[in-house]
Amino acid sequence: MDKVRSYLATGGRPVTVERHDAVVVGSGVAGVYTVLNAPEALDIVVVTKETLDISNSSLAQGGIAVSLGRDDSPELHLQDTLYAGAGLCDEDVVRVLVNEARPVIQDICTLGVDFDRKDPAAPQTPPAPPAATEGVGSLALNREAAHSQNRIIHAGDTTGKEVCDKLTSVMLRRPRVSIRERTTVLDLLVRDGVCCGVAVYDECRNEIRLLLADVVVCATGGYGQLYAATTNPEVATGDGACFAYRAGAVLMDLEFVQFHPTVLFHPKNRTFLISEAVRGEGALLRNLKGERFMPKYHEMNELAPRDVVSRSIFAEMTRAGDDHVWLDITARTRKDLQARFPNIYRTCLGYGIDMAKDYVPVAPAEHYCMGGIRTDVFGRTGIPGFYACGEAACNGIHGANRLASNSLLEGLVFGRRIGEEMTEVIKNRRYRPDDAEFFSKALDVPDPRPVLAAEEEASLRVQLRRLMTDKVGIVRTRAGMEEARAWLAPLSERLDGTRPVGLPGYELRNLVLLALLTVEMALAREESRGAHFREDFPHTDDAHWLVHQTRRLGAKD
């Protein structure tokens, strides 16, 4: 590598160089659990763009899928995952997920994660076989969409927060783990095809640093900020996928973007999730005339796979010209709702909606990216030393549509695998004494072109999110996507090589790159499958499209 194509080039300023055993990028469940599974002796730095507690994982409400019920099994969990994934899941990888679910849940319970337990006063099902009873046998199990069994464990309606808080507090007790908040990875450092660390922008000190390391784990989450309405936090701009792509990693399945069916639709809040678990507890969907509509669309009604429910809501809204539908859980008592969904109940009440007597206004919003950095079953990306995990990764588990509550589980199962592999990688260190000098020089590129004004960057971001929502959203057409591409392609060229105004400009470049790749993959896939629905190709075409699409810089795989 001659030059690192860093978006925040140093322009001759000196850079600070540090050496660590490993860098973990992202502080959601995938990143934190990777650290907890790495040997304690390793010097690991966790880099996070905002603060430790801000991640997609910590916003997860519903829970974690694990087959613990008497009539359940990993095989049934596998079948449900494959069904939701619409033919595109990689069965071998799903098998790893469902088989390793129970041990990771047992482990995190041991680490202090406090899931809801069955009500001891409630009628008991016969005890589960001995293997299932080690600490997890008494966990309460709920239902979510497209699951054939009750298998969602949860901590009230803030499961992600409970898991992240507890695991993070364990991580913080590790003496050799250090944390860098408000630090954004700009580039992966690759020399002779091997990952050697990352270049980061440290916002607090306003400086670029090189973190040299033998292992880099990308757990940066997805790219929900491509869309105008998303449940993701503002940091979800797909930086991980972009720095991986620029360094030569392969991106896969970007066209599959999941829209959660029920996101609060209120003038003051269009991002708050109303968990699928609410439908799992019996909530019904109604159009603005008050008519229940899901039975018209799918035999599983409100608990059909997520893509089906989102499209059905979209169809109802489009037909009537409405901008939302209703979620009706008024059949449940206030006491029940307050006990089972304390956060959702309280938040809705804050907007004047009492779920016990009022319908909740909801509309679909972007929620999860099935696509990302291609990895194998050990989180390896193909670039030695560089791993990806969680939503940032694409290992084929979710296929064309993720099954509810499989995402935290994915972060745990594959975080553990990556953590365990670190010792081996570090034993065969590749560090070269002149790496610091080599990468400092590579970063020292002059400003190629004038900057874009900050106001223009902000306005382009708004336009991009609107365009993606309208043209590359729940229902897609060739004409719409070509329009999106015609706007994005020249913008991408224009931005390429200009120096951004700080982080917003860096994020804009990443969003434009991912939007363009998403549009191209969605245009190429001339069929409908899972979350990718084309009005001009409404049928699934297994004869031609039972394949993953991939993109690598400078090549089409």
**Using CA atoms, how far apart are residues 116 and 294, in angstroms rounded to an integer?**
30
**Using CA atoms, how far apart are residues 266 and 261, in angstroms rounded to an integer?**
15
**Using CA atoms, how far apart are residues 85 and 305, in angstroms rounded to an integer?**
9
**Using CA atoms, how far apart are residues 31 and 58, in angstroms rounded to an integer?**
12
**Using CA atoms, how far apart are residues 75 and 520, in angstroms rounded to an integer?**
35
Strands 325-328, 360-369: pairing is antiparallel
Please identify, using beta-carbon distances, which residue of 187 and 281 lies nearer to ligand SIN.
Answer: 281
| Burial letters 131-169, b for 16+ CB under 10 A, else e | ebeeebbebbbbbbbbbebbbbbbbbbbbbbbbbbbbbe
Please identify, using beta-carbon distances, which residue of 215 and 365 lies nearer to ligand SIN.
Answer: 365
Please identify, using beta-carbon distances, which residue of 55 and 61 lies nearer to ligand SIN.
Answer: 61
Please identify, using beta-carbon distances, which residue of 231 and 440 lies nearer to ligand SIN.
Answer: 231
Please identify, using beta-carbon distances, which residue of 32 and 273 lies nearer to ligand SIN.
Answer: 273
Residue 64's nearest CA partner among 404, 444, 420 is 404
Q: Does 277 bind ligand SIN (CB under 6 A)?
A: yes
Least distance CB 288 / ligand SIN (angstroms)? 22
- Which residues, at least 6 apart from 471, have a Cβ–Cβ distance to it below 8 Å? 480, 481, 483, 484, 519
- The CB-side HSE value for 101 (13 A sphere, CA atoms) comes to 30
Cβ distance 341 to 278 under 8 Å? yes
Please identify, using beta-carbon distances, which residue of 184 and 262 lies nearer to ligand SIN.
Answer: 262
Residue from 100, 116, 276, 307 binding ligand SIN (CB under 6 A) = 276
Least distance CB 136 / ligand SIN (angstroms)? 19
Q: Does 275 bind ligand SIN (CB under 6 A)?
A: yes
Least distance CB 277 / ligand SIN (angstroms)? 6
Cβ distance 177 to 35 under 8 Å? yes
Residue identified by tokens 């936090």 is 233
**Using CA atoms, how far apart are residues 483 and 497, in angstroms rounded to an integer?**
24
Using the contact rule CB under 6 A, the part of the chain among 16-24, 55-63, 129-137, 176-184 near ligand SIN is 55-63
Cβ distance 385 to 194 under 8 Å? yes
Using the contact rule CB under 6 A, the part of the chain among 404-412, 423-431, 510-518, 525-533 near ligand SIN is 404-412
Least distance CB 32 / ligand SIN (angstroms)? 18
Q: Which of residues 332-361 bind ligand SIN (CB under 6 A)?
A: none
Strands 372-374, 393-394: pairing is parallel
Least distance CB 396 / ligand SIN (angstroms)? 18
Q: Does 514 bind ligand SIN (CB under 6 A)?
A: no
Closest residue by beta carbon to ligand SIN: 62
Using the contact rule CB under 6 A, the part of the chain among 60-68, 314-322, 388-396, 499-507 near ligand SIN is 60-68
Residue from 55, 57, 405, 440 binding ligand SIN (CB under 6 A) = 405
Residue from 94, 136, 241, 404 binding ligand SIN (CB under 6 A) = 404
Residue from 62, 233, 505, 530 binding ligand SIN (CB under 6 A) = 62
**Using CA atoms, how far apart are residues 546 and 551, in angstroms rounded to an integer?**
17
Residue from 34, 61, 312, 440 binding ligand SIN (CB under 6 A) = 61
> Quick check: is 306 catalytic?
yes
Least distance CB 408 / ligand SIN (angstroms)? 8
Least distance CB 258 / ligand SIN (angstroms)? 8
Q: Which of residues 65-94 bind ligand SIN (CB under 6 A)?
A: none
Q: Which of residues 407-436 bind ligand SIN (CB under 6 A)?
A: 407
Structure tokens at 342: 């304390």
Please identify, using beta-carbon distances, which residue of 407 and 549 lies nearer to ligand SIN.
Answer: 407
Please identify, using beta-carbon distances, which residue of 226 and 370 lies nearer to ligand SIN.
Answer: 370
Q: Phi/psi at 265 (nearest 5 deg)? A: -120, 90
Using the contact rule CB under 6 A, the part of the chain among 93-101, 166-174, 272-280, 377-385 near ligand SIN is 272-280
- Among residues 306, 380, 416, 476, which one is catalytic? 306
Instruction: State the amino acid at position 152 in one-letter form.
Output: I
Strands 251-252, 393-394: pairing is unpaired
Alpha helices for 428-538 (secondary structure H): 435-443, 454-471, 478-495, 502-524
Please identify, using beta-carbon distances, which residue of 276 and 421 lies nearer to ligand SIN.
Answer: 276
Structure tokens at 362: 């909801």
Using the contact rule CB under 6 A, the part of the chain among 9-17, 42-50, 59-67, 544-552 near ligand SIN is 59-67
Using the contact rule CB under 6 A, the part of the chain among 163-171, 275-283, 466-474, 506-514 near ligand SIN is 275-283
Q: Phi/psi at 454 (nearest 5 deg)? A: -55, -40
Using the contact rule CB under 6 A, the part of the chain among 56-64, 82-90, 238-246, 325-333 near ligand SIN is 56-64
Residue 398's nearest CA partner among 529, 289, 541 is 529
Structure tokens at 517: 């790749």
CA 53, 57, 58, 64 dihedral sign is negative
- Which residues, at least 6 apart from 554, have a Cβ–Cβ distance to it below 8 Å? none
Catalytic positions, written as ranges: 306
Residues that bind ligand SIN (CB under 6 A): 60-62, 273, 275-277, 404-405, 407
